[in-house]
Amino acid sequence: MPSPGGTSLEEGNKTLIRSFTDEIFNEHNLSSIEEYFGLESVEGSPQAGKGGEGFKQFLNDFFEAFPDMHTTIDQIVAENNLVMIFLIGSGTHRGEFRGTPATNKSVNIKSADLYKIEDGIITGHWDVVDQLNLLKQTRTLLSEPVG
Residue 48 pLDDT greater than 70, yes or no: no
**56 CB-contact burial (10 Å; exposed 0-12 / middle 13-18 / buried 19+):** buried
d(CA 110, CA 46): 16
Nearest-angstrom CA–CA distance, 86 and 93: 21
Tell me, what's the pLDDT at 39?
61
* Domain 8-138, CATH: 3.10.450.50
Average pLDDT over the chain, rounded to whole?
A: 85
- pLDDT tens string 97-137: 878 889 999 999 999 999 999 999 999 888 888 888 887 88
> H or E element: which one contains 39?
strand 37-43
Determine the pLDDT at residue 47: 60
Residue ranges per structural domain of the chain? 8-138
